[in-house]
Chain A
Amino acid sequence: MTTALSAKEIVSKLSAEFPDAVKEAGADSVLVKSASLPAVTEYLKTADGLKFDYINYITAIDYYDYFEVVYMMTSTEYNRSVTLKTRCETRNRPTVPSLAGIYQGADWQEREVYDLMGITFKGHPNMKRVFLWEGFDGHPLRKDWNK
């Protein structure tokens, strides 16, 4: 059974390394400051006893006031999973650091989020639209997008 690593555990592990990275700990997910996201994921991927080496998905949700980007990683070795979240408050060109350098699987999923939700991933090698064509008006998965 893949057990989700409880937020408490992650926070206790992270607080030693990154004292001010964690903003908020939910029930089974952690809200991370977007600036420290790459460092945190890098740590989660490589640190002994964690080894979250497999990325399940990346997605984004539009809550009107802010966008939430959700990452889920699994450790195939220990069979545990972790959900990280980060937020960007602006609606105009929101930006989050990219994880494409850490997980190759993040590459296209970030492009997908960019295409449909309009969140730019900084540091991504090829930030282009995936599904829709260049010149498509707006980002359809935003709640205020209208045909």
Chain B
Amino acid sequence: MEIDENKEYIYDSYQLDCDEGKIIEQMKASTKKSIPDPADWIDADLKRNIVLTSLDWVIDWARRSSLWTAICYPACCGMEWMATLAPRFDGSRFGMEIMRASPRQADLLITAGTLTWKMAPNVRRIYNQMAEPKWVIAMGACGISGGIFRSGYNVVPGYNKIIPVDVYVPGCPPRPEALLYGIQQLQKKIGRAKAVPDLSELPNPLNELPNPLKKDKKK
């Protein structure tokens, strides 16, 4: 939100509601197309990178092995998500038993439930608050496409209208096994990412400089 210096920021609650309504309408008008899978548009960047195997591997290993989730469980899929973290399915085997109420401390957003237009600005905000690098798993039919409620008047047809989604887990609700499988897929995806940029392909200012070593050889 931009802060206007000349405006008075004292509201009555009705005014607040109206403002919220405006934000929702804006978001509704501005989100016509789905946001593509992040791998698609990040890849162009990543292609310039070399395989600095060990360093990349260590960084990716660190990233994928302790995915902390931000809370976002609007609806029924949340039940299965809780079951995933509960003793039987034990999400802590994957280093992700910790739920973070503050999105600042999380790097994974599991969107367990139907997204409504009224909720959409909040989810976008949570996503924006999360620190990079961050990933999103869309859980359940509703998260993917709106599912059974797709024709509803207040339902966003899929989270990828609002935020980029990495992995989609189908089901209504997906079983905990399915969610765990989705998390493993995400971990694989993280494992493929190159964290360290390839210097040889980047325009390297060092190349332009006279190389003292070469000079030495000439002598």
* Residues of A near any B CB (own CB < 8 A): 128-129, 131-136, 140, 147
Tell me if B's interface is mostly helix, strand, loop or mixed.
helix
B20 in complex: contacting residue of A131, A134, A140, CB < 8 Å: A134
The 7 closest A-B CB pairs, nearest first, are A135-B21, A133-B21, A134-B21, A134-B18, A134-B17, A133-B24, A140-B153
Q: Knowing A135-B22, A136-B21 touch, does A128 contact B154 (C-beta < 8 A)?
A: no
B198 located at the interface, meaning its Cβ lies under 8 Å from any Cβ of chain A in the complex = no
Contact check: which of B17, B22, B25 meets A129 at CB < 8 Å?
B17
Alpha-carbon separation in the docked complex, A128 to B22 (Å): 16
B138-175 interface with A by 8 A CB criterion: 153-154
Please count how many residues in chain B sit with their CB below 8 Å of the partner chain's CB atoms.
12
A128 to B153, alpha carbons, bound, how many Å? Answer: 19
Expressed in whole angstroms, the minimum distance between the Cβ of A112 and any Cβ of chain B is 14
Report chain A residues within 8 Å CB of B134.
Answer: none
Beyond contacts A133-B24, A147-B153: 20 other A-B pairs, Cβ-Cβ < 8 A, are: A129-B17, A131-B154, A132-B118, A133-B17, A133-B20, A133-B21, A133-B25, A133-B117, A133-B118, A134-B14, A134-B17, A134-B18, A134-B20, A134-B21, A135-B18, A135-B21, A135-B22, A135-B24, A135-B25, A140-B153
Whether A128 contacts B21 by the Cβ 8 Å rule is no
Cα A135 to Cα B22 in complex, Å, equals: 7
Give the complex CA separation of A131 and B21 in angstroms.
11
A129 to B24, CA, bound (A): 15
Measured CA separation A38–B14 after assembly (Å): 27
Closest to B22 in A: A135
What are 11 inter-chain pairs, A to B, with CB distance below 8 A?
A129-B17, A132-B118, A133-B24, A133-B25, A133-B117, A133-B118, A134-B14, A134-B18, A135-B24, A135-B25, A140-B153
Give chain A residues whose Cβ lies under 8 Å from the Cβ of B17: 128-129, 133-134
Give chain A residues whose Cβ lies under 8 Å from the Cβ of B18. Answer: 134-135
- Which residue in chain A gives the minimum CB-CB distance to B18? A134
Chain B residues with CB under 8 Å of A147's CB are 153
Report A47 CB to chain B, min CB distance, Å. 38
Bound Cα distance A109, B22 (Å): 25
Residues of B within 8 A of A135 (CB): 18, 21-22, 24-25
A138 to B214, CA, bound (A): 77
Residues in A with CB closer than 8 Å to B153 are 140, 147
Residues on the B chain within 8 Å of A131, using CB = 118, 154
A85 to chain B, nearest CB (A): 27
How many whole Å from B184's CB to the nearest CB in chain A?
38
Q: Mark B1-26, 1 if CB is under 8 A from A, else 0.
A: 00000000000001001101110110
Nearest residue in A to B13 (C-beta to C-beta)? Answer: A128
Once bound together, how far apart are the Cα atoms of A135 and B20, in whole Å?
A: 9
Output the nearest chain A residue to B14 by Cβ-Cβ distance. Answer: A128
Contacts of B14 in A (CB 8 A): 128, 134
Instruction: Give the chain A neighbours of B22 by CB distance below 8 A.
Output: 135
